[in-house]
Structure 1
Amino acid sequence: MRILVATDAWHPQVNGVVRTLTSLARSASALGADIKFLTPEGFPSVPLPTYPGLRVALPSRGEIARRIEAASPDAIHIATEGPVGWMVRDYCCRRKLAFTTSYTTRFPEYIAARSIIPLSMSYAVLRHFHAAAAMTMVATSSLRQQLTARGFKKLGTWTRGVDTELFTPDGASELDLPRPIFMSVGRVAVEKNLDAFLSLNLPGSKVVVGDGPQKPELEIRFPKVKFLGEKTGRELSAHLAAADVFVFPSLTDTFGIVQLEALACGTPVAAFPVTGPLDVIADFPVGALDMNLRSACIRALRISREACRDFALQRSWENSARQFIGNLSALQPSRSLRPRGRLMAPSAAQG
């Protein structure tokens, strides 16, 4: 099966969407599926308002059509609701070609944190975007329930995994800091709710790994916190392995893959009991969830690091890729794009 995935999030961005798609392609290849990406590469772009470090592509309709037809896919999946995603959606709708989407980012909450645009308006736009899809894939059961309550239809499940060969307890960085080390990793931006972590009265040291628009402000407000900048690959794994507790203060993430990455490194998680942590951690003895985040951090110190690693070993990207491909395979082809491709359009979806 040839699959084309359209995404506005791509390298050199470092985030959960990019890591998910990269891991999906690698694992899907071993299962006999060939995934190609339609990304912002090659399109002009402009800085994202309120986040100048990220750029938004300005794709052209003609080039989007050319790239889709050159890929000649058997299925199209739209991973993001940005300009690339909207233009691929438009291409498919105009040609009556079915496609799937995934809901990976809670843009309404992110937008509400940065503007006066109400949640209801943002959700109405996203509902319209995903309504045209044969299936909208979500990572967790709680997110599926929340979207259903907001009027989303044809929802399917696509779970996430972790690379347990990259993320391991071995080779931990030598951080010359007072123990215990409480670490948060991710985009340093207002929607990640880092204030809730950095303002805690905790023993030892607080560390932030990542970059983003809020970093200069937080460095001034919290001078005792160690901001180590962006880390990737083995270096990220080594830092996660060096922490005593991984703190995940976000209230808006739909999943939070970095939680699994921390667990694969043997590091327990402390978080609020919200979508994402509730689905990843649940009742397993690998993390502490509490509306009192300080209490969760202290309790997490007593969690077995071996249990964390064992938990992560059961959550592979291969299983995630198999589920993704299964969702596409369940859609029955009814027509093809001619004469330049073999793009098949499913007629219905199982939600």
Structure 2
Amino acid sequence: MRLAIATDAWLPQVNGVVRTLAATVTELDRRGYEVELITPAQFTTLPLPGYSSIDVAIAPRFTVRRTLNAFAPDVVHIPTEGPIGWAARNWCLSHGVPHTTAFHTRFPDYVAARTGISADRLWPIFRRFHKHSRAVLAATPSLENELISRGIGKVRRWTRGIDHWLFRAEGALHPAMVDLPRPLLLNVGRVSREKNLEAFLALDVPGTKVVVGSGPDEEMLRRKYPHVHFLGMLAGEELASAYRTADCFVFPSLTDTFGLVVIEALACGVPVAAFPISGPLDIIGLSGRGADSDFPARIGSCDARLDSAIAVAQQSDRRAAAVFAQRFSWEHATDQFLAALTDALAGSSTQSGAKPQFAE
């Protein structure tokens, strides 16, 4: 299988999409697959308005076409609905090459959060983007159901994994956190409006709030919440030590489709408090004992009142949280990814006599 991945999100960006793709590419390489990456690094770019750390490719159509023509992939995976994603999609349609897509990010909700434009006005664009995909990969059952309800079909599961050698319950604690008044309430992620951080930072709850990450709202939130400890970007063992030091991981986002940070926190033995939305519900479950009803111990809490979720989550079993997180692996996630691509190729072979489709 000659696989091309055309993505608008790639290193040095730090987000769940990039981490998922990087881990998947590493696993594919370990298994001996030939993968061609098309990323913003190959193009002239401009910073995305409001996100200076995210570069967007300018007029990528010609380079995308040239790269795909030269590589001649059997199948193309397109995980983002940006300029590179649209260019790759149109090449696939014009050349009759099967492609798969993924729904990593609720861009309609992100745009709505930052502009006030109704998300419902944007969904037709996304339906068109995914319309001819042989498989639309989604991380959770609730996201699958949501996409189907939005008119996006051929949805397949593609879960997420953890680097268990890094995110583990045993290990050093973070020196900047150990002496802070407890309980330590931690959030990790992009510091931006769509992450709904103020729902966490504005809470009047016991303990110390700690935020790891950076983003366009960081300076504003530092000024507005001077008692919150902002540690900036952390990675590797330093990030893992911050997780381990916390008493509760607080995930206030209403727009994430999964939340890699949720399972990283659990793997480090930290219970999670979140709103009852897609992602946290699919991991923690409404009971707080994991989405699988056979898991016996509490690992967190989902509640429409975040302060209540925090209070309940702190009663969880830290050891159980780490055990539960062991079920998430990049090996299993990559098996799902490859199964979707294999089926896409099988569908292509049954249609070998059909004329190539063309972009609308």
TM-score by length of 2: 0.90
Q: Look up the match of 1:297.
A: 310
Give the letter aligned to residue 184 of structure 2: I
| Displacement after TM superposition at 1:311 (Å) | 0.8
Tell me how far 1:182 sits from its aligned partner: 0.3
Q: Identity of counterpart residues, as a percentage?
A: 46
User: CA offset at residue 333 of structure 1?
Assistant: 6.2
- Retained in 2: the 8 A contact 1:28–1:322? no
Map 1:233-244 onto structure 2 (within 5 A): 233-244=236-247
Q: Distance in 1 between matches of 2:36 and 2:261?
A: 24
Write out per-residue CA displacement over residues 230-280 of structure 1, whole angstroms, 9 at most, x where no aligned residue. 112222111111111110000110000110111111111110010110011
Aligned partners of 1:100 and 1:135 also within 8 Å: yes
Change over 3 Å in CA distance of 1:143–1:183 after alignment to 2: same
What displacement does 1:334 show?
4.3
Separation (CA, whole Å) in 2 of partners of 1:108 and 1:91 = 25
Aligned residue for 1:342? Answer: none
Is 1:271 the counterpart of 2:271 in the alignment? Answer: no
The 10-residue stretch of structure 1 (34-43 or 292-301) with the greater mean CA deviation from structure 2: 34-43
Amino acid in structure 2 at the alignment position of 1:313: Q
Q: Distance between the aligned counterparts of 1:233 and 1:311, measured in 2?
A: 21
The answer to whether the aligner puts 1:208 opposite 2:221 as a matched pair is: no
Moved more, 228-237 or 26-35: 26-35
Q: Distance in 2 between matches of 1:22 and 1:294?
A: 35
Query: What is the alpha-carbon distance in structure 2 between the residues aligned to residue 299 and residue 124 of structure 1?
Result: 40
Q: Give TM-score, length-normalised by structure 1.
A: 0.92
Equivalent residue for 1:253, pick from 233, 252, 256: 256
Q: SS where residue 5 of structure 2 aligns?
A: strand
User: CA 1:334–1:313 in structure 2 vs 1: closer, same or farther (change >3 Å)?
Assistant: closer
State the alpha-carbon separation in 2 of the partners of residues 171 and 2 from structure 1. 42
- What residue is the counterpart of 1:341 in the other structure? none
Partner of 1:308: 321
Q: Secondary structure at the match of 1:184?
A: strand
Residue 323 of structure 1 corresponds to which residue in structure 2?
336
Q: Which residue of 2 aligns with 1:171?
A: 172
In the other structure, the counterpart of 1:40 is 40
- What is residue 295 of structure 2 aligned with on the other side? none
| Alpha-carbon distance, 1:229 to partner | 0.5
Q: C-alpha distance in 1, partners of 2:39/2:28?
A: 18
Q: What secondary structure sits across from 1:55 in the alignment?
A: strand
Looking at structure 2, the residues matched to 265 and 59 of structure 1 have their Cα atoms a distance apart, in angstroms, of 42
Specify the code of the residue in structure 2 equivalent to 1:319. H
**Aligned pairs for 1:100-139 within 5 A:** 100-139=100-139
Q: 1:311, 1:26 → 2: CA distance?
A: 24
CA contact (8 A) 1:57 1:83 kept: yes
Ranges in structure 2 where 5+ consecutive residues have no aligned partner:
291-297
Q: Which residue of 2 aligns with 1:288?
A: 301
Worse overlay, 88-97 or 177-186? 88-97
- Indicate conservation of the 8 Å contact 2:98/2:348, yes or no: no
What is the root-mean-square deviation of aligned Cα atoms in Å? 1.6
The residue type paired with residue 299 of structure 1 is V
**Shift of residue 159 of structure 1?**
1.0
Q: CA deviation at 1:7?
A: 0.9
**Contact 1:28-1:318 within 8 A present in 2 as well:** no
**Equivalent residue pairs, number:** 337
Answer yes or no: is the 8 Å Cα contact 1:46–1:57 preserved in 2.
yes
**Given residue 296 of structure 1, which amino acid in structure 2 is its aligned partner?**
A
**More displaced 10-residue stretch of structure 1: 115-124 or 29-38:** 29-38
> Which has the larger displacement, 295-304 or 76-85?
295-304
Amino acid at match of 1:323: Q
Q: Which amino acid aligns with 2:330?
A: W
- Partner deviation per Cα, 1:270-325 (whole Å, 9 max, x = no partner): 10010110011114221111111111111111211111111111211100000100
Contact 2:272 2:299 in 1 (8 A): yes
Q: Counterparts of 1:195 and 1:160 in 2: how far apart (Å)?
A: 27
Whether the 8 Å contact between 1:40 and 1:59 is mirrored in structure 2 is no
* TM-aligned CA distance change 1:51 to 1:289, over 3 Å: same
SS of equivalent to 1:330: helix
- 3-state SS, counterpart of residue 171 of structure 1: coil
| Contact 1:246/1:262 (8 A) holds in 2 | yes
1:76 is matched with which residue?
A: 76
Kept in 1: contact 2:75–2:97 (CA 8 A)? no
Shift of 1:62: 2.1
What is the one-letter code of the residue matched to 2:222? E
